[in-house]
Amino acid sequence: MPLRHAAQEGRRAWRNARALKKRFDAFVRELAFWGGWAGIGLCLLCGLLWLLPESSWDGVLGLRAGSLPVYTVLALALAALAGWRFVNAGQDRITRRVGRNVGRVAFVALPLACLAIGWFLEPVSRWTGFEPPSHPFWIVVRWYPPVAALVCAAVFLAWKSRPRRNVLWDRGLWYALLLLPYALLFATLELGLHVDWFEAQHRETVRSLGSHAIILQLLLAYFVGGD
């Protein structure tokens, strides 16, 4: 009887954990929706400020011309939340097509495994004898997560561009533009693409935020990737 009671308690705890995860996922997606659209609006505002003479808006509503790089990076980080939702929508479509179990392996288990292996690069390389970074094993560990995200983004754009039989180029272009902030951050933080302008603004933002920069870094790591 104690064994049956323990099994019941285990199942109850598992159901509670799954319900908690669903509520957390729903909260994150709602946050990403509103934050993403707010970020897109702020990106447009920052673009306008870059075009205007600093003297015409410096000090208005507490804005400071010297902090424009910080405003821009924070706006891009918020706008990237919209792209994160798009990538998740593409992942959901793939999961419905291949099945939930395959989806969990492809989009949860394997990326987490790659992340964990990357943390323990030296002991894993000694244990396996696989020499990083050129060995195929390490190539898969490094590139599987970003490639999976790119595939999900491509599936989302293909779906929006061709919801039925006809290709809607204007609709596809619209969603591609909304995806741009995420794509910029993903390319620089995850793929290692060097964009001098963004890297300079990012360094300035981290310097200006001081100890609070860790919050920005954690959010970027969760929603976009990178170190």
The predicted pLDDT at position 1 comes to 53
Residue matched to tokens 């011309």: 65
Spatial contact of 226 and 189, defined as CB atoms under 8 Å apart: yes
Q: Per 3-state DSSP, what percentage of the chain is helix, strand, and coil (rounded to 5)?
A: 85, 0, 15
> What are phi and psi for residue 79, nearest 5 degrees?
-65, -30
> What domain count does the chain have?
1
Average pLDDT along the chain: 83
Give the single-character DSSP code of 57.
Answer: T
| 225: nearest Cα among 111, 70, 103, 128 | 111
**What's the CA angle centered on 96, arms 94 and 97, to 5 degrees?**
65
The predicted pLDDT at position 129 comes to 81
pLDDT along the chain (227 residues), means of 10: 61 70 79 89 91 86 84 89 91 92 89 87 85 86 90 92 77 89 86 79 77 74 65
| 148: nearest Cα among 192, 102, 188 | 102
| Structural domain that includes position 103 | 2-223
Q: Which amino acid is at 27?
A: F
